[in-house]
Amino acid sequence: MKNIIKKILFTFLLFFGTLFLLEIVLGAAFLYKDRNIEPENVKDFPYLYYLFDSKKGDYNEHGFKTTYAIEKPENTFRIILTGGSVARGKEPEFTIAAYLEKQLQQKFPQQKIQVINAGVSGFGVQQEFLLIQMLLQQYKPNMIIGLDGYNDMLTFKLNRFSPSGYDLPPHNWEQFRIIKQKTFQSKWYSRLALPFHNINRAKDFLIRNSKEKKYDWNTVDETIASKHAQAYWNVVRDQHDFCKTKGIVYVNFLQPVRFYNPLSEPDFAEHKALSKIYKHMESYYKQSDFGYSLIPAFHRCKGMYIDDCHINTEGNQIIATAIAEKIKSQLILE
């Protein structure tokens, strides 16, 4: 009997000892893998999930890259740029908003123009719509410009394994499923997962990787693409209608994407499927009187891309110029 107990204890210690050793090894591996990742300084925010929380002088109390106060000065035409990380940019003076303000001020030197950068990395149009209602209208803008498309196309990819009942959930919305998380935490076996964070991370990676390999991008047909694009445009149109009731001019621009070009088809099945969605999204802009596509401006500018959607400072200037050209006739300067 004692030998049996000893074997059980030895097996138990060997099992958990192996797990702790694996946890340490995986922790070191993930630490090396993430060595170049700079964590974003964000804070929780009601309904929006998060906003940036920076104490630098170039950021305001809502984490936007601007030094302008919420209260608008007299005799000022105020524009707010919304969007994801492309709109937000990096260094404040080299962002699309900064270049846009400079160009518009040159075109209208007799007026004071402010362009506030309210881009939030990872945001889609639904979060931007809530942002406009909750915060941005407090800034009393004369015009709101949306620079969108990529994040809302990407949500299809990031959430296709986690059905939500809604076509445009936030990126990786699985992480925001509080009820599901609490249900798991109420189980006794959830305690066993606490000390093995890296093992769980590796497990989640293997599961996702397995699903990725099994997923057939060819199943994304025109019907699926059209449905996703329509859900996107419905929110863009709602933003326009809401702003109109508030006396705010609303204009939306479809941002360029490196692998999307309606004149040619990409090589990869994933890019083909996503391009199909983007093509349907772009079709709404061609029929709109408040939406414009920036795709044509970048057909021959692939060297300006840093990745599939982010561009260098020269690309930011090109986008700012294109936006300035389109909105100049809609500027009613007070």
Look at residue 334 in the predicted model and tell me its pLDDT.
45
Q: Which residues have a Cβ under 8 Å from the Cβ of 301 and sit 6 or more positions away?
A: 256, 315, 318
Helix, strand, coil % over all residues of the chain, rounded to 5: 55, 15, 35
Structure tokens at 221: 């047909």
| pLDDT tens-place string over residues 278-328 | 999 999 999 999 999 999 888 777 788 999 999 999 999 999 999 999 998
Look at residue 189 in the predicted model and tell me its pLDDT.
67
Q: What is the secondary structure of 245-257 as a DSSP string?
A: HTT-EEEEEEPP-
Query: Of 17-26, 38-47, 119-128, 166-175, which has the strongest mean pLDDT?
Result: 119-128
Q: What is the mean pLDDT of residues 133-153?
A: 97
Q: What is the mean pLDDT of residues 35-58?
A: 83
- Tell me the C-alpha to C-alpha distance, in Å, between residue 147 and each of 80, 89, 254, 256, 258: 11, 12, 6, 10, 16
- Residue 79 · residue 136 · CB < 8 Å: no
Q: How far apart are CA 29 and CA 20, in angstroms?
A: 14
Q: Which CATH superfamily, name and number, covers 42-155+218-330?
A: SGNH hydrolase (3.40.50.1110)
Look at residue 282 in the predicted model and tell me its pLDDT.
97
Q: What is the mean pLDDT of residues 248-262?
A: 94
Residue given tokens 């009820």 in the structure block? 179
Q: Which one-letter DSSP state was computed for residue 167? A: S
pLDDT of 239 above 90: yes
Q: How far apart are CA 304 and CA 301, in angstroms?
A: 6
| Helix/strand/coil for 75 | coil
Residue given tokens 């349907």 in the structure block? 280
Better-scored residue on pLDDT, 164 or 219: 219
- What's the whole-number average pLDDT of the chain? 90
First vs last Cα of the chain: how many Å apart?
A: 92
